[in-house]
Amino acid sequence: MTKSSVPRTRAISNPAWRALAADGALLASALVGGAALCRMVAGGLGGAASGPVLVTAAAGCVIPGVLLWRQVRAPVVAAVGALTVALVAMWSTVPAATRDGVPTATTSRILRADLRASRADLSTFRLPLHASPGIVVLGALLAGMAAVAARMIFGAPATRPPRSPAAALVPSAALVTWSTVADPGTSSAILAAALIGTGSAAVTLAAPAAGAEQGLPGRARVRRHRLGSGVVVSVLAMTVAVAVGATTGAQSRASTGSGGSGGSTTTGAVPPTGLALASDLLGLERKDPSVVLFWARSPVPTYWQVGVLTQWQGRWLPDQATTDALNGASVPGGAVRGLPTSSKRTFDVTVTVGHLSSRLLPVPPATTIVDVPGGGTVTQAGAVTSRASTLDERYQATAIVAPAVSTAATSSAPGLSAAQLAPDLALPAISPTVTALARQVTSVATSPLGRAEALVDWFRSGAFRYTLTPPTLSPGSDPLVMFLTTARAGTCEAFAGAFAVMARSLGLPTRVAVGFTGGRTAPGGTTTVRGADAHEWPEVYLGAASGWVSFEPTPQLPSGELSPPSVVGPTGVQLPTTIPPSGGPVPITVPPAPSTSTSSAVSTPPGTGLGFGASRTTPVSAGAGTWLLVAGGVLVVLAMVVLVAARRRRLRLRSATNLERALWAYRRAERGLARAGMARPAWRSPPAHARELLARAQRAQEAWDHEPGSSAAGDELRAALRDVLGLAELLEGASYGATTLTREEIVRAEHSARRVRRTLRRRPVRALANEVVAAGVGPEPARRA
């Protein structure tokens, strides 16, 4: 029998390009699902989460697809797909935390700390979520596993077409629906429309192949195609209905003044103001987290300071000059107090105002000159202009590079006098518990710098956590004492305020700066600062040489990025930055902390490449609970995939004809021959190929009998080849109509196919099979010498 006489399982009307197009449409739908997740993270599709999430979703769809095309078993494909998703999510989020791409114990510690830090955001689920590494890793894993599930359900249309292609679109449709309900907006309707287009293309390209593959009559193929199309159109129509309804509702709420989407990247008629930043920073973070407040270009990573808070009245409030500037009143000029005298280097920044209306402009700390259209000056309150900033307004500023902070730093220039520092040391009556705790934390430190560092290390030691929804305190209790001793969770306002109170109780001149963290810097060098970047941090005056030094006691920055080198964190004293001639990023050198410091937090290990991430705290041993939860989820997904694959196989066998089952049995045996190196040439019929292999094996049996251990393997090989010959003859007789296949014959054929594959997997049998192949192909194969 020639090859053309063997029934073909691929319809002529379904060539390889059609199957590839169906796979491409499925990949596009998986990317739509990933994009739906990106909407819920700060920055949206252009933010830090888009790259890892979309790349992982693509890998979760492509890698299993390639394996399915190679006809690898479904459980193996699911396991490889899950492993691929985990590795790609890790490589794209914390790439340098591995050793040459291989995860290590350091990788485990970093990921565990990231996941622990993301608990606060996930527990409240206030959108948009901060783009911290933990959130990005979880989003990438979710998008990747959804793509793996879709790929397993869809199968490979060229080799094993799906019975219901529309079911493969359920994971993406679920992600789009979830994103729409959680964060309604116009982009949700766009994603739903994209899912309709890609899903319809995938179903249209794959559904006809399913009917043709199973040899169904034309009417049955049409009915099945219509059924699959109907299911996918119904699912996607429901998704669009939810998306459009939620979007319309959100727009109507915004038009009536009841608030818009939490994830909106636009602003209403009244943009955020500097007064709102100083009086209700937490409200600004919650209401306008994705609103772009300004863009900046700076050769030095820096925080952006708007004003200072100097008065403690249960909370930190601005002084009279800052209040006047925020409210639009005139502010007296004068030299700026407390600038460092040991640093003569400066750097220039350019800022373009977005949706921010304020007379106090965001500038780097230690700014000396500001050039604003309409006039501006630098005062004790900050960079003040004659009118509120407007959209697209541009200004420039010059600031002093932060000098090295050292206990031995001295300067011949006079520092601030005791009278000038008195407002920065004033404290009303506070609980003795706060003072006693501050002295206990800094008991080993012997210098002002050491005491300030000891406070930072204590707040960042792992005992505290950052959250936008601090726990409710008991009525009548002291909020500061409860925060320091019981709750130990709060916003950046709580950490900066508590640090400043404790520092003043120790005699350190301290104030609270209000402004923004460093924001997100694009590859071109432009930094984008949004509402989620609003921040407070303390500044301590350490003498004329260092001036006002910024410290970072908040365990995790609100927007997730690392603090700049000019802000002293748990890594100890910072060396001064240097500006390269090209104006590029400033290299930083961090020496060990001085022995007088009571640093208790662990610095970030060098080379961990935490480019996305939150400023790291001490890795806490959260136990194996997190990893057991992740492993349990992966096992559940794998079990579901195995059950779905087994059910599909049972349904396919139940609906197949006896001839189709005989053909499948022979092809399983033929794949076993190919893996053993005895593939059938295209010009030889299946029975002729089996007879040729069996004849050569029988002629070689005499030589095998004289070799220890080869006789039994030779018997097994010849038995397997006889099974292949029986399958080929059974298929040939059924194909020509000479015999009618019975159920008993089909069951024996399937058992024979499994026996052939099992036998040919054994190493001794494969070695003898290689000798049979080496004997040559032809009517008279060479005998063994």
- Residue 587 in domain: no
Q: How many residues does the chain have?
A: 785
Verify that 520 and 664 share a domain, yes or no.
Answer: no
Q: Which of 69-73, 267-271, 623-627 has the lowest average pLDDT? A: 623-627
Verify that 540 and 662 share a domain, yes or no.
Answer: no
For every residue of 303-371, DSSP letters joined together read -EEEEEEEEESSSEEE-HHHHHHHHT------PPTT--SS---EEEEEEEE-S-B-SEEPB-TTEEEEE
- Residue 780 in domain: no
pLDDT band with cut points at 50, 70 and 90 for residue 512: very high
Backbone angles phi, psi at 649, to 5 degrees: -65, -40
Higher-pLDDT residue of 511 and 584 is: 511
Question: Cβ contacts of residue 605 below 8 Å, gap of 6+?
Answer: 106
Tell me if 137 sits within 8 A of 610, measured CB to CB.
Answer: no
The pLDDT value recorded for residue 131 is 74
Tell me if 367 sits within 8 A of 402, measured CB to CB.
Answer: no
The pLDDT value recorded for residue 708 is 65
Residue-range definition of the domain harbouring residue 517: 274-406+415-568
pLDDT at 266 over 50: no
pLDDT (average), residues 495-509 = 93
What is the residue-averaged pLDDT of the chain? Answer: 74
The amino acid present at 145, given as its one-letter code, is M
Higher-pLDDT residue of 4 and 490 is: 490
Backbone angles phi, psi at 396, to 5 degrees: -125, 155
Tell me if 530 sits within 8 A of 280, measured CB to CB.
Answer: no
Angle, helix 448-459 to helix 492-505, in steps of 10 degrees: 150
How far is Cα 214 from Cα 16, in angstroms, rounded to an integer? Answer: 17
pLDDT band with cut points at 50, 70 and 90 for residue 107: confident
Domains in the chain: how many in total? 3
pLDDT at 628 over 70: no
Question: Cβ contacts of residue 261 below 8 Å, gap of 6+?
Answer: 127, 183, 184, 185, 250, 254
Verify that 424 and 515 share a domain, yes or no.
Answer: yes
The pLDDT value recorded for residue 396 is 93
Q: Is 408 exposed, middle or buried (0-12, 13-18, 19+ CB in 10 A)?
A: exposed
- Residue 629 in domain: no
pLDDT at 10 over 60: no
pLDDT at 67 over 80: yes
Q: Which of 321-325, 550-554, 621-625 has the lowest average pLDDT? A: 621-625
Structure-block tokens of residue 198: 């890609």
Per residue in 649-667, pLDDT tens?
667 766 777 778 888 888 8
How far is Cα 27 from Cα 57, in angstroms, rounded to an integer? Answer: 8
- Is the bond into 428 cis (omega within 30 degrees of 0)? no
Higher-pLDDT residue of 411 and 334 is: 334
pTM: 0.48
DSSP 535: E
Verify that 299 and 248 share a domain, yes or no.
Answer: no
Backbone angles phi, psi at 465, to 5 degrees: -140, 150
Q: Which of 67-81, 91-105, 379-393, 438-452 has the lowest average pLDDT? A: 91-105
Tell me the percentage of the chain whose pLDDT exceeds 70: 71
Secondary structure (3-state) at 177:
helix
How far is Cα 267 from Cα 271, in angstroms, rounded to an integer? Answer: 6
pLDDT (average), residues 397-425 = 77
Verify that 221 and 299 share a domain, yes or no.
Answer: no
Residue bearing tokens 């073909």? 8
pLDDT at 373 over 90: no
3-state percent breakdown (helix, strand, coil) of the chain, nearest 5: 50, 10, 40
Verify that 482 and 438 share a domain, yes or no.
Answer: yes
The pLDDT value recorded for residue 363 is 93
Per residue in 123-140, pLDDT tens?
667 667 777 778 888 888
**515, 544, 568 - which closes a domain:** 568
Question: Cβ contacts of residue 452 below 8 Å, gap of 6+?
Answer: 503, 508, 540, 542, 549, 551, 568
State the first-to-last Cα distance of the chain, in angstroms, to the nearest integer. Answer: 33
The pLDDT value recorded for residue 333 is 66
pLDDT at 411 over 70: no
pLDDT band with cut points at 50, 70 and 90 for residue 673: confident
The pLDDT value recorded for residue 231 is 52
Angle, helix 432-441 to helix 492-505, in steps of 10 degrees: 80
How far is Cα 421 from Cα 770, in angstroms, rounded to an integer? Answer: 89
The pLDDT value recorded for residue 68 is 83
- Residue 337 in domain: yes
The pLDDT value recorded for residue 439 is 92
How far is Cα 664 from Cα 118, in angstroms, rounded to an integer? Answer: 50
Structure-block tokens of residue 545: 């040489």
Structure-block tokens of residue 101: 């791409």
How far is Cα 622 from Cα 656, in angstroms, rounded to an integer? Answer: 52
Longest dimension (CA), the chain: 112
Verify that 358 and 246 share a domain, yes or no.
Answer: no
pLDDT at 7 over 50: no
pLDDT band with cut points at 50, 70 and 90 for residue 240: low
- Is the bond into 128 cis (omega within 30 degrees of 0)? yes
Verify that 289 and 240 share a domain, yes or no.
Answer: no
pLDDT band with cut points at 50, 70 and 90 for residue 217: very low
Q: Name residue 348's beta-bridge partners.
A: 398
How far is Cα 284 from Cα 329, in angstroms, rounded to an integer? Answer: 23
Secondary structure (3-state) at 557:
coil
Secondary structure (3-state) at 497:
helix
pLDDT at 782 over 80: no
Per residue in 702-754, pLDDT tens?
667 666 667 778 788 888 888 888 888 887 777 776 667 787 888 888 888 88
Question: Rounded to an integer, what is the distance from CA 746 to the centroid of its chain?
Answer: 50
Structure-block tokens of residue 671: 């794949």
How far is Cα 679 from Cα 667, in angstroms, rounded to an integer? Answer: 11
Verify that 102 and 194 share a domain, yes or no.
Answer: yes
Verify that 663 and 561 share a domain, yes or no.
Answer: no
pLDDT at 607 over 70: no
Structure-block tokens of residue 705: 């009998």
Q: What is the CA radius of gyration of the chain?
A: 35
pLDDT at 8 over 50: no
Verify that 226 and 308 share a domain, yes or no.
Answer: no
Secondary structure (3-state) at 465:
strand
How far is Cα 114 from Cα 49, in angstroms, rounded to an integer? Answer: 14
Verify that 316 and 228 share a domain, yes or no.
Answer: no
pLDDT (average), residues 364-379 = 88
- Residue 420 in domain: yes
Higher-pLDDT residue of 153 and 581 is: 153
Question: Rounded to an integer, what is the distance from CA 667 to the centroid of its chain?
Answer: 42
Tell me if 59 sits within 8 A of 35, measured CB to CB.
Answer: no
Tell me if 392 sits within 8 A of 317, measured CB to CB.
Answer: no
pLDDT band with cut points at 50, 70 and 90 for residue 770: confident
Residue bearing tokens 């899903």? 199
The pLDDT value recorded for residue 583 is 38
pLDDT at 50 over 90: no
Structure-block tokens of residue 624: 């194996």
pLDDT (average), residues 32-44 = 83
pLDDT at 347 over 80: yes
pLDDT band with cut points at 50, 70 and 90 for residue 537: very high
How far is Cα 616 from Cα 734, in angstroms, rounded to an integer? Answer: 69
Higher-pLDDT residue of 689 and 612 is: 689
